[in-house]
Chain A
Amino acid sequence: MIELREVRKTFNAGTPAECAALSGVTLTIPANTVTVLTGPSGSGKTTLLTIVGCMARPSAGRVRLDGREITSLPERFLTDIRRRRFGFIFQQPSLIPGLTVLENVMLPAYPLGERRAALQARAMRALASYEISAKAPAKVQWLSGGEAQRVAIVRALINDPAVVIADEPTAHLDTTLARRFMQVIARFKDEGKTVLISSHDPRVSSSPVVDQVVALRDGRIEGDGPSSCAPPVLEGRP
C-alpha cells in the first residue's frame, strides 16, 4: 500500500517563478489495485508519480510504502527501492539506441549481480511472454512503436517490481495498441502488482481494469480545495 500525507512540491521556491506543483496531496493507493491519475497538463500528475517512485523528493509531506516511510530515506536506500520495488514505463519507450532489445531489457538488473546466463534466460522468458522474443538480437532503433512499448514494459518488469508506474503510457499509441496496453495492465493486476498510471486519456481512465481514478487539478485532488499554482509574477519595467 502507498500512502501520501500532505505532500507538497514547490519548484523555484523563493523566486518570482515559484510554482506549487503539488499542494498538500493526501492519498491512499491500496496494494494490488490499478489507480489512474487524471487531469490536464500542469495538474501535477507526473510530479506525483516521480515522488511516489522515489525519483524526486517532496518539499513537504511524507510518503509511506507498505508502512515504511520513504521520503526521508538517504539516497543509497532510495536507489535500492527504485531498483527492486518499482518498474517504470514512460511516455516514450526511452530505450537506449545502439543496444539490442535483450541488452535493454537486462540493463536494470545488472546492479543486482545476478549471473549473466540466468539473467539472460529470465529476460528471454519475459520477452517471450510479451511475444517479442524474436526481436531480442535486434537494435532497438529498428522497432516499431508498439514493439518498442512492449520492450519498455518488459524492461520495467525485469526486476519483478511490486509497483508499476506508468506516465502517459498510451499518449503515442493508437486505439488497438492502447487496448492491448490495458490488457497488459490487467495482467499486472492478476500477478498481484500495484499499478499507478498518470494519463489524461479516457481510454485508460474508463477501462474496467481501473480500481481508482484520482482527478488532479492545479496540484490538488479535485474537491480538496482551491487551486494553488499561481502564474509567475513578472516584474514590469517602467
Chain B
Amino acid sequence: MILHPAVLANVLASVITTGLVLYACCFGVQVLLHWDLESGSERQLALERRTYLVSTILAHVFVLQVLAVFLFVFTADHLTPLFAGAMCAAGTLNVNGYGYPTLMLKMATCLFAGVWLVVNHADSRGYDYPLIKQKYLLLGIAAPAMLLETWWELEYFRHLKADVITSCCGCLFGGAHGTSVAGDLAALPSGPMTVVFYATMGVTILGGLFHQLRRRGGYVFALASVVAFPVALAAIVSFISLYIYELPTHHCPFCILMRDYHYVGYGLYGMLIGAVVAGAGAGALLPFRRVPSMRAVIPSLVHRLTLASVALYAVFTAVVTWAILSSHLTL
C-alpha cells in the first residue's frame, strides 16, 4: 500500500462512512421492526429521539460519500507519476483489478447517497416521520454495496504496486471495438452518438419543463433524467472528449480532469451527478406526494428538484456545445 496522504484520506473516508452506515443500519432494523407512532412506549420515544442523531450523522456521511467519488478520481490522477505507462487516472485505476470496479461502485453509491439525502430532507419536513421506514429500507439495500465498495477500495490501494507497468488512457479508450467496455464506448460512432446525446438531453429538459408547467409526467421526467446520465457519460467518451482535446483519437474521460484542460471534467461530472440526483430524487418522492403530512412539502420540493435537474442538464449541454463549437477539431 502506498501511504500517500490522498490514499489515507480515501481509506479513512470510506471506513468512517461504512462504519457509520452499518451503525445506522442496526438502528434502522429496530425502526423497521418496532416503529409505531401511535404508541407512547418508552422504546418508541427512544427511537424518535435517536432518529435525529442517526439522520444527522447520515446526512453528513452521505455528503462525504458524494464528495468521495471525486476524491477517489483525484487520488488516482495524483498517483499517475508513480506508475510506468499511466498518463492519467485511467492508467492508475488499471494498475490492478479493483480500480474500475471500485470506481463504478463509488459512482453508484454516490448517486444513492444523493437520493437518500433528498428523501431524508423530505422526511425531516414532515411532522410524523412519513418516510422513516422507506429511508431505512433504502439504507439497508445500499449498505452491502457500500461495504463491498470499501473492501474493494482497500484491496485496490493495498495492491497498488509501483513496479507494475500499466496501460495509458490511449490504449484503454482507444482499443478496438469488442476488446473492453471502454473500447466499445470509444468506438461508438460520433455522428449517431451526437444525435442520441442531444435527443436525450432535449427529451429530458423538455420533459422537466412540461412537468413544471403541467404537473404531469413526473415519472417520465425522472426516468429520462436517469437515462440521460449514462448517455452523457457515453457521449463524453464517444465524441465530447475529442472536441475538448482537439484530437480525433483521444477518448479518455479522465484527462479532462487534469490541469491541462482547466479541470473542466470536475465541473461536467459534478453537473451530471447533481442533475441525475435531483431528477431521481424527484421521482423517488412522487409516490409519497399524497401522504397527508407531505402534501404541502413534496410538490414544492419536487418542483425545485426538477428545476435543478433541468438547469444542470441544460448548463451541461450548453457547456458541451460551446466546447464543440469553439474547438479547432472538425470530425
Which A residues are closer than 8 A to B by beta carbons?
5-8, 57-62, 69, 71-77
Contacts and interface: CB of A to CB of B under 8 A. Distances in A.
Contacts of A74: 52, 124, 127, 129
A57 B45 contact: yes
Interface in B3-53: 37, 40-42, 45, 48-49, 52
Given A58-B40, A59-B45, A72-B129, 7 more contacts: A57-B45, A60-B40, A60-B45, A73-B127, A74-B124, A74-B129, A77-B127
A71 B46 CA distance: 12
B42 A8 contact: yes
Nearest to B55: A74
Interface residues of B, number: 12
Contacts of A76: 124
Nearest to A4: B40
Residue of A5, A60, A74, A76 ringed by the most chain B CB atoms within 10 A: A74
Contacts of A58: 40, 45
B36 to A, nearest CB: 10
Contact of A72 (B37, B42, B124): B37
28 contacts: A5-B40, A6-B40, A7-B40, A57-B45, A57-B48, A57-B49, A58-B40, A58-B45, A59-B42, A59-B45, A60-B41, A60-B45, A62-B40, A69-B37, A71-B40, A71-B45, A72-B37, A72-B45, A72-B48, A72-B128, A73-B127, A74-B52, A74-B124, A74-B127, A74-B129, A75-B52, A76-B124, A77-B127
Residue of A6, A60, A76 ringed by the most chain B CB atoms within 10 A: A60
Interface in B41-73: 41-42, 45, 48-49, 52
A57 B42 CA distance: 11
Contacts of A62: 40
Contacts of B37: 69, 72
A72 B40 CA distance: 9
Contacts of A61: 40
Contacts of B49: 57
B124 A60 contact: no
Contacts of B128: 72
Nearest to B39: A62
7 closest Cβ pairs, A-B complex: A62-B40, A60-B42, A61-B40, A77-B127, A72-B48, A73-B127, A59-B42
A6 B42 CA distance: 11
A6 B44 CA distance: 14
Nearest to B41: A60
Nearest to A60: B42
Contacts of A6: 40
Nearest to B46: A59
Nearest to A70: B127
A104 B294 CA distance: 37
B44 to A, nearest CB: 8
Contacts of A60: 40-42, 45
A76 B129 CA distance: 12
A74 B49 CA distance: 9
Interface in B113-163: 124, 127-129
A179 to B, nearest CB: 40
A73 B125 CA distance: 11
Nearest to A78: B127
A5 B45 CA distance: 14
Residue of B127, B128, B129 ringed by the most chain A CB atoms within 10 A: B127
A58 B49 CA distance: 11
Contacts of A73: 127
A74 B127 CA distance: 6
A22 to B, nearest CB: 13
A61 B38 CA distance: 10
Contacts of B127: 73-74, 77
A57 B45 CA distance: 8
A23 to B, nearest CB: 12
A75 B48 CA distance: 11
Contacts of B41: 60
